[in-house]
Structures are given as C-alpha cells and as structure tokens.
Amino acid sequence: MDVSGQETDWRSTAFRQKLVSQIEDAMRKAGVAHSKSSKDMESHVFLKAKTRIL
C-alpha cells in the first residue's frame, strides 16, 4: 500500500473525513439503524487512538 503525503498523517482533518465517509458507507451497507452518527463513531475512536493501525 502506497501511503504518502497527507494520508500518512492520521490526525489530519482530510484523513479523518475520509474515515467518516467510510463509516457512513459501511453503516448504509449494513442496513441497520445506529444510535451514533458516523462522525460520533470516528470521534470516539480518534480520541482513544494512540497510533494509526490498519
């Protein structure tokens, strides 16, 4: 996997927004109602994260 530039900074706004979009897509594909928004889910994980793990 080639990660360069801004994608390597997992704390950047652009990278985090990309993750929010991926969470929204996964939620839509799951077809189940969720009590938290994708933004809330990403924020929770980001606050707990100490490193970027793929």
- For the chain, the three-class secondary structure string (H helix, E strand, C coil) is CCCCHHHHCCCCHHHHHHHHHHHHHHHHHHCCCCCCCHHHHHHHHHHHCCCCCC
Torsional sign, CA 4, 51, 25, 15: negative
CA gap 3, 41 in Å, rounded: 24
Domain range summary for the chain, segments of one domain joined by +: 5-48
pTM for the whole structure: 0.67
pLDDT digits (tens, 9 = 90+) for 2-43: 444 545 688 899 999 999 999 999 988 998 777 889 999 999
First-to-final CA distance of the chain: 11
CATH superfamily, domain at 5-48: Coactivator CBP, KIX domain (1.10.246.20)
